[in-house]
Amino acid sequence: MMMNYDSLVMQLHAALQKKSDLDKHINAVKRDLLATPELQAQVAPLHNSGGEKTEAGITVEVAKKHIWQQEMLAAVLNEMPEDEWPPFVTRQAIFKIDMRKFANAAVSNPSLVQPFNSAHSIKLSDPKISKVKLGERE
């Protein structure tokens, strides 16, 4: 049985509206769950460093983002010729630091990365629920 175009368009519209309503409901429930004392206690150890933690089948996550102060990076990099820049630095509209290479250089050559440390900070996201596994609840 072939459905006609108008019927399919109406079905799609109704399904998208239901999805939107469901997404709003899911986000509201997650927000309420994150406000409970149980999840506040689960999230508390993550507030300084980010990461994720699972308890009773609920995984909470605090993402982190590395922030580099462009003015400070420019001051550090202006002190050396561009062809001698460390391999973790690339020139773009803004300076970018490859964190994997930076971390490796911090171990192998700490004096190379030391001037860059003052230009670095980490921004943590708001906590979020990343998984729920009801079978793992106590």
Q: Structural domain boundaries of the chain?
A: 36-138
pLDDT band at 104, cuts 50/70/90?
very high
Q: How far apart are CA 34 and CA 42, in angstroms?
A: 9
Q: How high is the pLDDT of residue 7?
A: 87
pLDDT at 71 over 90: no
Give the mean model confidence (pLDDT) for residues 107-127.
89
CA–CA distance, 113 with 83 (Å, rounded to integer): 16
The stretch 103-113 carries a mean pLDDT of: 93
pLDDT above 70 (res 56): yes
Determine the average pLDDT of the residues in 93-112.
90
**Amino acid 138: pLDDT:** 54
Bin 85: left if φ > 0, else alpha if -120 < ψ < 50, else beta. Answer: beta
What's the one-letter identity of residue 49?
Answer: S
Spatial distance between the Cα atoms of 114 and 94, rounded to a whole number of angstroms: 20
